[in-house]
Structure 1
Amino acid sequence: MPKSTGKQQYGNDSISALKGADRVRKRPGVIFGSDGLEGCEHAVFEILSNAIDEAREGHGDTITITRYEDKSIEVEDFGRGCPVDWNEKEQKFNWELVFCELYAGGKYNNLEGDNYEYSLGLNGLGTCATQYASEYFDALIHRDGFEYSLHFEKGENIGGLQKAPWSGKKTGSRFRWKPDLDVFTDINIPVEFFLDVLKRQAVVNAGVTFRFRNQVNGKFETTDFQYQNGIVDYVRELSGENALTTPVFWQTERRGRDRADKPDYKVKLSVSFCFSNTVNIIEHYHNSSWLEHGGSPEKAMRSAFVSAIDAYLRQQGKYQKAESKITWNDIQDCLVFVSNNFSTQTSYENQTKKAINNKFVQEAMTDFLKSQMEVYFIENPFDAGKIAEQVLINKRSRESAEKARLNIKKKLSGNVDISNRVQKFVDCRTKDTERRELYIVEGDSALGSVKLSRDAEFQGIMPVRGKILNCLKADFGKIFKSEIITDLLKVLGCGVEVHDKRAKDMADFDLMNLRWNKVVICTDADVDGYQIRTLILTMLYRLTPTLIQRGYVYIAESPLYEINYKEKTWFAYNETEKTNILDELGDRKYTIQRSKGLGENEPDMMWLTTMNPATRRLIKVMPEDVERTAQVFDLLLGDNLSGRKDHIAENGYKYLELADIS
């Protein structure tokens, strides 16, 4: 029987394009990586990037960023001032290009560095996108003997360009804006974000002062960051006085291309590092942007250090007979390393600039580090010996710990199949953890239905018998006496993230021991089902929060309605979808029924709506704000009785239709 998913028709009239400010305001995640606080923070960095580019070109040595109490932000530089007057070539005012045109700016066609040689803000999105995403945006610019001012509200210019003579010596740009809550879900950027970002920028922009002003009760608290010698001062600060080796600083420039058919570009490589048996920190920066996820420089550093240190160990006869080669982890454990690279052409993995993938940057940095390390070992034999000794200590300790862990694991698990030790657990056939999915269902009837519907190759089932304990209110003694909870933890296989003697039968948490790629909570779409779902989530949140933070936990959406017309069936997962389907059917004679509980569903329907990866709907449980999640769980399920009473008084009316009141 052909099935329909209930989606609206997709035809020629379905295509539409966002225009003007809506290109950012309606899709902020595309530009900023998120419509939450992280995206709002990235918008700040876009404006800051332009000020940094000016300072690095020698125009101004101080950048001031202000956090106001009303959540507005201001960035001021002492550069040349953003051009905003008439542009003869484009036949437009420059302010229109800078503030209202995506992919416009002064940094394109710049492979030879005629303007900004090594620029952080190369994409032409930042200033315009931030302006579009603001409740208001004010620009005050001094250049060419004039003072220019502009005012925008929700992406629209109000009043045009204001221009007046300026006799002051100062030049530069000052932008103040308030992120719009209609665009971002949260605009309360914490002080810690500013302090972290400005410190990092001071590290990689030697000699530039980054001044942070935070308004508290109408007064401003000021913090300055400056590293006169850049990353080498930073490495010295990180490693402290007891480092194994003295920090070194290496720098070079190279020219090359990512592909034979691509043009050449310049790369300026700078690294500073030392070895330590107490500290291990690695950070990469490219065109001043902190590469949180590394990319090309991370791969280059790993390859070069493993190759160079392994070659030295072999040359000096440091390995024992038949001893295995060192790994990157053995080096990482004792390395303090900061790279600060620049290129005239950069390929970021995405707009948020947390990793780059330039092939030539990786090749140039690998070659540079290998050759420098070889010379370093020759010129510093005493330090080379200390490095070799510490890396080998790390390696042998790691191997001993791994051997002990495997022996304990073997002793504890033996050869007993977990399916024989956990009542009614149904395993799947594959042992490939990248494919395995665990469906957590409520009761025996749901177990039977899901068992008939699943793909036994990769989908396992764990039934929850009765209502699980409220793990926020129960103490660990009760929690670990609950057979439901301990059985579920055994099936997961990753242990627990609590250190309590009553959890003696539970192993310490180890994500590598998780037996599943997806943990799917599958309950009925009714009040009882939602409560069981919440209790399971609460258990996971308290005992294995990393599973939620790393995105392993999902909720399977069950349809609320089944709508039939002749031989076609539609499934509606909410009231809006039901209305749309009924509107589409019009006056045709259809039947509609509220979906049954999971245990009453036909296997083909269960497979189509809940189990089939191609047609099911899964919601990934990945809270961006763990603190907020904890507060909500505590409010709804914890001991905060007065808070829960207030919450019900304020919001209960919204859910009266769902309440079981007779």
Structure 2
Amino acid sequence: MKSRNSVRISNFSTSYVYKTFLWMKTEAKLQVRMRKMAKDKDNYGAGSLTVLEGLDAVRKRPGMYIGTTDSQGLMHCLWEIIDNSVDEALAGVCNHIVVTLHSDGSVEVADNGRGIPVDIEPKTKLTGVEVVLTKLHAGAKFGNSSYGASGGLHGVGSSVVNALSSRLDVEVDRDGKTHHMSFHQGHPGVYTDADPEHPSPDAPFKRTRKNRPTELEIIGKVSPKTTGTRIRYWADPEIFNDTAEFSYEQLIDRVRQTSFLVPGLKITVIDENIPETGDESVDEMLEVDDIANAAGDEPQEIAESDESEHDAAGHEEAAEQIEEADVAAQPQGSKYTHSRIEEFCHTGGVKDFVDYLSKGEAVSAIWRITGEDTYVEETQAVGDGGELHAQKVTRNCAVDIAMRWTNGYDTTMRSFVNVVETPGGGTHVDGYLLGLTKQIRKAIEDNARKLKVNLKDSNMKVERDDILAGLVAVVTVRIAEPQFQGQTKDVLGTAQVKPIVSKMTDRQFGEMITGSKRGYKEQSGRVLEKIVGEMHARIQARKTKEVTRRKNALESASMPPKLSDCQPGNDDVAELFIVEGDSALGTAKAARNSGFQALLPIRGKILNVQKASLSQMLSNKECAAIIQVVGAGSGASFDIEQARYNKVIMMTDADVDGAHIRILLLTLFYRYMRPLIEYGHVYAAVPPLHRIALTGAHKGEYIYTYSDDELAGKLADLDKKHISYNEDIQRYKGLGEMDADQLADTTMDPRTRMLRRIRMEDAEQASQIFSLLMGDDVPPRKAFIVENADDFDRSKIDT
């Protein structure tokens, strides 16, 4: 009989042997797998490579061609198609482009240009339409004959859009015929639509066999003089993510800027999501322009508007039809805030563009720099046999720049190459700024005494930011085959453009800023004065930043002597009261809480900074004191984090003069300390107008009213309740008539006072209102007052 120990040993040995066997089996399998992997690695060859042919590479890596697959990439595809039509306009063979947003989500771009070639391309044996829409780096913009300047230069725009579309249809009018062709994800073929009037990417599609030439289908006849191209495409949902959507606002902005950059080109945008208003069809609109071209007429100038005249004529009838129809077709509060058709056409070019971009009061008229020059560039030319070889060619560079200064400090600069915007600038912008800076510095040195600039002071040197403050400029160049940095064309890289633009700016702008050119002397003086003022403001802001916030008595001593500051350490609740007059200051000192309430008196009405220059504002003692006391700088260098007070309260008399002082103070805050208003740190105190002293049982009690209407209503209420009061009602003519207790209770004590916060919900509208009401131009202000007199609401003011 075995012992228990021997049984345990036997079981342990069996288990150990079995586990060892499993481990050896697993190890053997692993060795086999490793030998197989090593063998596969040794067999790495051409058969391991994957070749993506044609447009498959675009679908595999769309980001390389359109940047992203969200809304930005979706809009980029549209720009590629529009730019091809615009290139026809730049070539002088197109004067009308129509962009249609169809209700099924597709987009159509039509033009009355020459039309894509429909004949056979010798090398590929394919029609020109198929070459353009299916072959990368193919087009008429690699040579020098068809396009002198164009936006689409890489030859991938149309083909990329085709590759990233679930369906693309193209129609070409040439040689008296209308040619048609369809594509699915970049591959040519034929769709069988159930309703040809409403094509769909979901219709049955038969793909053309590989390596077999696809012939264009002729679907109609047109006049021999009628030419053009129509491309309609449906973005592929397999490529673009769920958040991708067309932006109507971006489309309109792009169309508007193109109409500025190509004078005389009419661009029509149709949104079929908006109900019909009896508008002409796209073909009818383009046909009218074809007739005008054939007759040799100039394109008609159409002012930018929300609706065409034709739309306006039928608008009332359309509105009635909508009301009678199903309400669901166009519900109240529809998301479409634009009209069905918008048209854009401008003849003034970049000058009109600068005028459109300008906000605020103009310091100068719109100045123009134009001219042409040539440069030599080494490029790869295509030989007769299709081979590439290096060749030096002479290029033409056309420069067109418009600019003006306004009284603001924001810079608005837009740059373009062949109507393609370059948000990142490039060599054309660098050349412009180089010539601009050189000439302005020279002009300031020549007029240093007049402008009160100490040339011996090394700190008094104009920097580029001083020059750019308030500048509105549009910089455009037109060159053949520009070198962009990337397919998205954000930055111009053609080096030869910089010296041309710099030289042209140096010469022409130099004549303007020196005043030697007729009519520019007075304007150049104002521009130089503004730039010098910006320089002083920058220097002053730097000095302000060097002074730390209120920490010790030394810093307090640097403040204006008339400032009655509060105690340090309460920055989060500190309040600055700007008080009207010394008499009110005396009462306010006794009424305030010195722990967190500071007082700064001003004498009467401060300078209207809307009319004054920057240097005049800085030299004004009241304005300079306010900026210094707030302690956050001014203009573009204003830093709200450095503000010494949480609230800035305007405490003026409740009369017309007090209201005038408040609006002058608000103008100062808006123009030079705007974040104070934007973040809600500016308030207006609301002092009472009357004090009613109660008698009888309520003797010693007082009631304050803030308007004549409120007084009348309160007295009637007291009479109704048979509460007696002193008939001699006190009318405050100013804050100085109150004693300290009254001022504290009604205006300064946070527990009982009433403040009115100044808000700014629309910055652009606020800028226009300030320019209108506080600027130099009197007739528009008078017209505004007359037109709005009937809508005047006394309850909105505190007098």
TM-score (norm 2): 0.49
Alpha-carbon distance in 1 for matches of 2:65, 2:551 = 52
Q: State the structure with more CA Rg.
A: 2
Evaluate the alpha carbon distance shift between residue 335 and residue 170 of structure 1 in structure 2; reply closer, same or farther with a 3 A threshold.
Answer: same
Hey, what does 1:127 align to over in structure 2? 158
Evaluate the alpha carbon distance shift between residue 381 and residue 167 of structure 1 in structure 2; reply closer, same or farther with a 3 A threshold.
Answer: closer
Larger mean CA deviation between 116-125 and 232-241 belongs to 232-241
Larger mean CA deviation between 166-175 and 335-344 belongs to 166-175
* Equivalent pair of 2:169/2:231 in contact (CA under 8 Å): yes
Give the alignment partner of residue 526 of structure 2, picking from 386, 389, 398. 386
Evaluate the alpha carbon distance shift between residue 496 and residue 390 of structure 1 in structure 2; reply closer, same or farther with a 3 A threshold.
Answer: closer
Deviations 1:28-73 (A, max 9, x none): 1101111222111111111111100111222221111111233211
SS in 2 for 1:176: strand
Hey, what does 2:591 align to over in structure 1? none
Give the alignment partner of residue 115 of structure 1, picking from 125, 143, 146. 146
SS in 2 for 1:216: coil
Alpha-carbon distance in 2 for matches of 1:89, 1:14 = 31
Q: 2:126 aligned with 1:92, yes or no?
A: yes
SS in 2 for 1:257: strand
Alpha-carbon distance in 1 for matches of 2:184, 2:352 = 43
Hey, what does 2:624 align to over in structure 1? none
Deviations 1:204-254 (A, max 9, x none): 111111111112255470111111111111212333683111112221111
Q: Aligned partner of 1:352: which letter?
A: T
Hey, what does 2:229 align to over in structure 1? 173
Deviations 1:586-627 (A, max 9, x none): xxxxxxxxxxxxxxxxxxxxxxxxxxxxxxxxxxxxxxxxxx
Which of structures 1 and 2 has the larger relative contact order (alpha carbons within 8 angstroms, sep 6+)?
1
Give the alignment partner of residue 152 of structure 1, picking from 183, 205, 208. 183
Q: 2:217 aligned with 1:162, yes or no?
A: yes
Hey, what does 1:244 align to over in structure 2? 363
Q: 2:474 aligned with 1:355, yes or no?
A: no
Hey, what does 1:480 align to over in structure 2? none
Alpha-carbon distance in 1 for matches of 2:532, 2:378 = 38
Evaluate the alpha carbon distance shift between residue 146 and residue 300 of structure 1 in structure 2; reply closer, same or farther with a 3 A threshold.
Answer: same
Hey, what does 2:372 align to over in structure 1? 253
* Equivalent pair of 1:348/1:355 in contact (CA under 8 Å): yes
Q: Aligned partner of 2:479: which letter?
A: S
In the TM superposition, what is the alpha-carbon distance from 1:406 to its structure 2 partner?
A: 3.5
Evaluate the alpha carbon distance shift between residue 257 and residue 135 of structure 1 in structure 2; reply closer, same or farther with a 3 A threshold.
Answer: same
* Equivalent pair of 1:26/1:183 in contact (CA under 8 Å): no
In the TM superposition, what is the alpha-carbon distance from 1:335 to its structure 2 partner?
A: 1.0
* Equivalent pair of 1:272/1:339 in contact (CA under 8 Å): yes
Hey, what does 1:195 align to over in structure 2? 252
Give the alignment partner of residue 240 of structure 2, picking from 161, 169, 184. 184
Alpha-carbon distance in 1 for matches of 2:116, 2:443 = 52
Alpha-carbon distance in 1 for matches of 2:160, 2:397 = 28
Hey, what does 1:39 align to over in structure 2? 73
Q: Aligned partner of 2:542: which letter?
A: E
Hey, what does 1:475 align to over in structure 2? none
Deviations 1:505-541 (A, max 9, x none): xxxxxxxxxxxxxxxxxxxxxxxxxxxxxxxxxxxxx
Give the alignment partner of residue 394 of structure 2, picking from 259, 264, 268. 264
Hey, what does 1:52 align to over in structure 2? 86
Identity %: 24
Evaluate the alpha carbon distance shift between residue 223 and residue 408 of structure 1 in structure 2; reply closer, same or farther with a 3 A threshold.
Answer: farther
Q: 2:346 aligned with 1:227, yes or no?
A: yes
* Equivalent pair of 2:69/2:244 in contact (CA under 8 Å): no
SS in 2 for 1:263: strand
Hey, what does 2:267 align to over in structure 1? 210
* Equivalent pair of 1:180/1:187 in contact (CA under 8 Å): no
Q: Aligned partner of 2:250: which letter?
A: F
Give the alignment partner of residue 172 of structure 2, picking from 131, 137, 141. 141
Q: Aligned partner of 1:181: which letter?
A: P
* Equivalent pair of 1:334/1:391 in contact (CA under 8 Å): no
In the TM superposition, what is the alpha-carbon distance from 1:170 to its structure 2 partner?
A: 2.8
* Equivalent pair of 1:179/1:187 in contact (CA under 8 Å): no
In the TM superposition, what is the alpha-carbon distance from 1:258 to its structure 2 partner?
A: 5.3
Q: 2:183 aligned with 1:64, yes or no?
A: no
Hey, what does 2:403 align to over in structure 1? 273
Alpha-carbon distance in 1 for matches of 2:642, 2:489 = 32
Q: Aligned partner of 1:202: which letter?
A: S
Q: Aligned partner of 1:170: which letter?
A: T
* Equivalent pair of 2:395/2:479 in contact (CA under 8 Å): yes
Number of aligned residue pairs: give it: 412
Evaluate the alpha carbon distance shift between residue 259 and residue 122 of structure 1 in structure 2; reply closer, same or farther with a 3 A threshold.
Answer: closer
SS in 2 for 1:147: strand
Evaluate the alpha carbon distance shift between residue 411 and residue 271 of structure 1 in structure 2; reply closer, same or farther with a 3 A threshold.
Answer: farther
SS in 2 for 1:299: helix
Unaligned runs of 5+ in 2: 1-39, 191-213, 278-339, 380-390, 553-638, 648-799
Evaluate the alpha carbon distance shift between residue 246 and residue 164 of structure 1 in structure 2; reply closer, same or farther with a 3 A threshold.
Answer: same
SS in 2 for 1:158: strand
Larger mean CA deviation between 301-310 and 164-173 belongs to 164-173
In the TM superposition, what are the counterparts of 1:569-608 in structure 2 within 5 Å?
none
* Equivalent pair of 1:134/1:179 in contact (CA under 8 Å): yes
TM-score (norm 1): 0.58
SS in 1 for 2:523: helix
Alpha-carbon distance in 1 for matches of 2:272, 2:549 = 54
Q: Aligned partner of 1:106: which letter?
A: A
Question: Considering only aligned residues, what root-mean-square deviation do their CA atoms show, in Å?
Answer: 3.0
* Equivalent pair of 2:460/2:535 in contact (CA under 8 Å): no
SS in 1 for 2:353: helix
